[in-house]
Amino acid sequence: MGWLDVMKAIGMFSIYLAHMPGELERMHLFLAYFCAPVFFFAGGAVAGKNKDMPIKEFTIRRIKQVLVPYFVLGIFNMFIRVFVLRPQLGEIIQWGRELLRGQRNYIFATAMWFLPCIFCAGIVYHVLQKLIKNKWALLAVCTAISLVIRFSIEGSKWWFSFDTSLRYLFYYALAAHTVTYIDEFSFKKINITQKILFLGSTALMFLIFAISFQFGRGYVPSLFHIELPFYGQIVETIILGFASTYCIIVFSKILGNVTGLQNVGKESLVLCTAEMPAKLLVPVALEAIGLNMQFTSSAHNAVSCIIFLLVGYYGMAKPIKKYFPYILGIKQNTNKESN
């Protein structure tokens, strides 16, 4: 399923846009709303393969695959920040506390919160699979949990971003229920009526996606001077979430055979932790040889973002997988994926 790796690569590009000035920062703020669903959807795509695994065995496996890399690479991040920023001892202690808590928006390496969050989502969904045998009832329960958390808890308040993992549990469950159908879908194989319906629904989803990006949420109701009640906000959340996920899936399917994007997506776990070192070390390295990284236009910023991503991939992800595979919970000389 190469398109799933492409989906994760799109999510990684969104993450690396963070803190880029100008138009790219605006694009990041918009895509950041959707990159979390992307990673949860990609994570849930393999949930069905482990449904028969005992809870204890599954938990131990996920600790090795997710939490061990999180803490090992988190400590590595701290060393890089100490080397570049030369902080006071109190700041270093604070970074250690943030790493232990693993809360969204409260960790020094911004993208790293995805790791403990996806760990929690996987454990919760695995337990629910054991308790609820009907797949549609399971999806309904996950949807209800996500909506309750979405409208009752603002921000991230629980350790390991457990509340955030519950907020996005719907996408995790949705992938587990639909990934087989998506993977088997081929535009060439459907009849003319189905093609028309597909193209029409796709155009509608992209229109919703574009309007949301250009004018923000709530724009359509505001045209009619409508203030959405509570249940209306729930409906809007579901529609925007579905539309954004749908659009990104379409992009991923179209680009599913692009090997470079697949390779980036496969290393998303390490790339989440490589964002901060790349953004700290690359400018320092360029300054050491008399060059400055330009942030004067969207084009410069986009090139910088790609450079950071490539440095994270070739400078951290590939060497770690090749020389230190046990950090990722995989064995030497195997092709088994770490996430």
In DSSP notation, 227-271 reads ---HHHHHHHHHHHHHHHHHHHHHHHHHTTT-HHHHHHHHTHHHH
Residue 34, pLDDT above cutoff 90 = no
Residue 109, pLDDT above cutoff 70 = yes
Which comes out higher in pLDDT, residue 238 or 339? 238
Which residues have C-beta within 8 Å of that of residue 63, sequence separation ≥ 6?
A: 119
What is the separation, in whole angstroms, between the first and last Cα of the chain?
A: 13
What local confidence, expressed as pLDDT, does residue 335 receive? 44
Residue 258, pLDDT above cutoff 70 = yes
Which residues have C-beta within 8 Å of that of residue 190, sequence separation ≥ 6?
A: 198
Mean pLDDT value of segment 31-37: 68
Structurally, how many domains does the chain consist of? Answer: 1
Q: Give the rounded percent of residues in the chain with a pLDDT score beyond 70.
A: 88
What local confidence, expressed as pLDDT, does residue 300 receive? 72
Mean pLDDT value of segment 208-218: 75
Mean pLDDT value of segment 18-25: 60
**pTM metric for this prediction:** 0.83
Residue 56, pLDDT above cutoff 90 = yes
Residue 24, pLDDT above cutoff 60 = no
Which comes out higher in pLDDT, residue 227 or 60? 60
Question: What average pLDDT does the structure give for the chain?
Answer: 84
Residue 7, pLDDT above cutoff 60 = yes
Q: 176-201, pLDDT tens digit by residue?
A: 888 888 989 988 899 999 999 999 99
Residue 25, pLDDT above cutoff 60 = no
What local confidence, expressed as pLDDT, does residue 325 receive? 87
What local confidence, expressed as pLDDT, does residue 338 receive? 43
Instruction: Identify whether 262 is part of a domain.
Output: yes
Mean pLDDT value of segment 264-278: 91
Residue 333, pLDDT above cutoff 70 = no
Cα(50)–Cα(336) distance, integer angstroms: 15
What local confidence, expressed as pLDDT, does residue 31 receive? 61
Instruction: Point out the least confidently predicted range of 268-277, 278-287, 329-338.
Output: 329-338
Mean pLDDT value of segment 148-153: 86
Residue 155, pLDDT above cutoff 90 = no
Token reading at 161: 């971003």
Quote the distance between the C-alpha of residue 146 and its chain's center. 16
What local confidence, expressed as pLDDT, does residue 337 receive? 43
Mean pLDDT value of segment 285-291: 83
Instruction: Identify whether 170 is part of a domain.
Output: yes
For CA atoms 129, 131, 135, 137, give the dihedral sign: negative
What local confidence, expressed as pLDDT, does residue 339 receive? 47
The confidence band for 144, taking pLDDT boundaries of 50, 70 and 90, is: very high
Q: Give the rounded percent of residues in the chain with a pLDDT score beyond 90.
A: 37
For CA atoms 196, 202, 205, 207, give the dihedral sign: negative
What local confidence, expressed as pLDDT, does residue 33 receive? 61
Domain limits at 152?
A: 2-184+258-328
Mean pLDDT value of segment 206-233: 74
Residue 334, pLDDT above cutoff 60 = no
Instruction: Identify whether 36 is part of a domain.
Output: yes
What local confidence, expressed as pLDDT, does residue 75 receive? 94
Instruction: Identify whether 89 is part of a domain.
Output: yes
Instruction: Identify whether 232 is part of a domain.
Output: no
Instruction: Identify whether 7 is part of a domain.
Output: yes
User: Distances in Å between the alpha carbon of 99 and those of 156, 157, 272?
Assistant: 14, 15, 14
